[in-house]
Amino acid sequence: MKCIFCNNTETKVVDSRESEDLTRRRRECLICQKRFTTYERAEDPQVYIIKKDNRRELYNRGKLKGGILKACEKRPISLEKIDIGINKIESKLRTLENNEIQSKLLGEEVAKMLKQLDKVAYIRFASVYREFEDIGDFKKEIQILSKRRG
Amino acid sequence: MKCIFCNNTETKVVDSRESEDLTRRRRECLICQKRFTTYERAEDPQVYIIKKDNRRELYNRGKLKGGILKACEKRPISLEKIDIGINKIESKLRTLENNEIQSKLLGEEVAKMLKQLDKVAYIRFASVYREFEDIGDFKKEIQILSKRRG
DNA sequence: AAATAAGACACAATATATTGTGTTTACTCT
DNA sequence: AGAGTAAACACAATATATTGTGTCTTATTT
C-alpha cells in the first residue's frame, strides 16, 4: 500500500480493527514514518441504476451515502446505523436478477430505511428524491408520520 | 469481514493482490463458502468541496470518479491511469491548509489531469463542469487543442 | 461544562495473509 | 474474430497482521 504522503510503496500495519462490514487499518510508511488510515470493504454491488432519462449509471456506495448523509445532517443518527442500513440495501441490490434497478425504486428503499432511523431525515430525503412539488407534500407526509407514532 | 451473501462474520482470504494504491482480496465465507472481493484503500482526504451555492460537502472519491468515468466512456483510457490521476489530485487535496476547496478549482484540476490522458474525455468533462453555453465553446476548446498537437 | 463516542497509540501472544508462478475465463476494443 | 487486459483460481514457502486490554486525545452533543 502506497504511502499517501511520500508515495513510497512499503508500509506496515500498526493497528487494525474490524467491525460489521469493514476493517480499518492504521498504517505507517517504512520510509517517512508518517501514518495514515485505510479501509477494506466489500466491492460495490455491480448494478446499474436507471435514471429518469433512461441513462444507466453504475451503483456507487459513496454517492448514495453522500445523499443519505445530507439528509441526516445534524440528526442524532450514528454513522454505524447508516452503514448497516446501506448494507441491507446493498444485499437487496446483489439479489437483483438483471443487475439493474430504477433510481426511483432505489430511492424508495432508502426512504424505507431512513423511516426506521429518523423521521426528519426521512422527510428530507423523500423531499428530494420524490421531488415534492410544494410544501403541501411535506405536510401530508408529516401527517402520515404523526398518526403512526404520536 | 462479514460475508455479503449469508451475513456470517467469519471469512478468510484466499488471494490478495496489491497494486499502486489498493489491495484487492478475494475472500471466502467459512460458513456458506461463497466468495467475494474486497478492496483496501487509503481513506478519502477530509476536505470540504464548496459548491456554487456555497454549500459544503465532504469530498468523496467515488463521486468524483463517477464523473470522470462518464467523461471517459468508450475512450481508450485504462482504469489504472484514471486511478493514478485521481491519486495525484487527492495528494493536492491533502495539502490544502484550510481543508476546503471550491468545486470549480477541483474541476480545473480534473480537467488538467484529463487533458494529459485523452482530449475527448477532457472536452466532455470540461463541457459539464464549466457549463459550456453553446457549441461555440466546444469549437473554441477544440481549436486550442488542435493547435497544440496537430 | 460534562458526558459520550470515535480514533489513535502501545504491547504482547497467536493466527492468518502474502507473493511468485502459472492457468483459465470473461470482456472490450480494433 | 483476434488481441489484449483484468480477474479468478490453485498451491507452496514465508512474512506479517490480528486482537484483547488499556490509556489518551479530540470532537460532538446536551
Tell me the pLDDT band of B126, cut-offs 50, 70 and 90: confident
Residue B150 scores a pLDDT above 60 = no
Which nucleotide is nearest, taking the CA of residue B1 and each C1'? D18
B76 touches chain A (CB under 8 A): no
A90 and B4 in contact by Cβ < 8 A?
yes
Give me the B residues in range 60-79 that sit within 7 A (CB) of strand D.
78-79
Tens digit of pLDDT for each residue in A19-72? 878 999 999 999 999 999 999 999 999 888 888 888 788 888 888 888 888 788
Tens digit of pLDDT for each residue in B57-79? 888 888 888 888 878 877 777 77
Q: What is the mean pLDDT of residues A68-81?
A: 78
Q: What is the mean pLDDT of residues A109-137?
A: 78
Residue A21, min C-alpha distance to chain B (Å): 5
Among A13-17, A52-56, B140-144, the range of highest mean pLDDT: A13-17
Tell me the pLDDT band of A150, cut-offs 50, 70 and 90: very low
Sheet holding B22-29, edge to edge: A11-18, A22-29, A35-42, B35-42, B22-29, B11-18
Hey, which residues does B58 pair with through a beta bridge?
A: B48
What is the Cβ-side half-sphere exposure of residue B86, based on CA atoms within 13 angstroms?
24
Look-up of cell digits 451555492: B53
Please enumerate in sequence order all residues whose Cβ is within 8 A of that of B39, keeping only pairs 6 or more positions apart, or say none: A40, A41, A43, B22, B23, B24, B25
Instruction: Tell me how far CA of residue A30 lies from CA of A2, A79, A95, in angstroms.
Output: 10, 32, 42
Q: Single out the residue of B38, B118, B42 nearest to residue B74, CA to CA.
A: B118
Q: Single out the residue of B15, B65, B62 nearest to residue B36, CA to CA.
A: B15
Asked whether strand C has any atom less than 7 Å from the CB of B18, the reply is: yes
Give residue B97's pLDDT: 80
Q: Single out the residue of B60, B44, B107 nearest to residue A69, CA to CA.
A: B60
Give residue A134's pLDDT: 57
Instruction: Tell me how far CA of residue A137 lies from CA of A128, B58, B94, in angstroms.
Output: 12, 29, 42
Give residue A148's pLDDT: 62
Q: What is the mean pLDDT of residues A78-104?
A: 86
Please state the pTM of the whole predicted model: 0.84
Return d(Cα B28, Cα B14) in angstroms, integer. 7
Q: What is the mean pLDDT of residues B81-95?
A: 88
Give residue B131's pLDDT: 64
Task: Please provide the distance, in angstroms rounded to a whole number, between the alpha carbons at the two ends of chain A.
Answer: 52
Look-up of cell digits 469493514: A22
Give residue A146's pLDDT: 67
A37 and B42 in contact by Cβ < 8 A?
yes
Give residue A27's pLDDT: 96
A2 and B25 in contact by Cβ < 8 A?
no
Asked whether strand C has any atom less than 7 Å from the CB of A96, the reply is: no
Residue B44, min C-alpha distance to chain A (Å): 9
Give residue B145's pLDDT: 66
Residue A48 amino acid letter = Y
Mean pLDDT of chain B: 84
Please enumerate in sequence order all residues whose Cβ is within 8 A of that of B106, keeping only pairs 6 or more positions apart, or say none: B49, B64, B89, B93
Asked whether strand C has any atom less than 7 Å from the CB of A10, the reply is: no
Please enumerate in sequence order all residues whose Cβ is within 8 A of that of B36, keeping only pairs 6 or more positions apart, or say none: A42, A43, B3, B4, B5, B26, B27, B29
Give me the A residues in range 20-39 that sit within 7 A (CB) of strand C.
24, 26, 35, 37
Helix, strand or coil, per DSSP, at residue B87: helix
Helix residue spans in A10-150 (DSSP H): 61-72, 79-95, 103-117, 119-129, 135-148
Other C-beta atoms within 10 Å of B59: how many? 22
B42 and A4 in contact by Cβ < 8 A?
yes
Asked whether strand C has any atom less than 7 Å from the CB of B57, the reply is: no
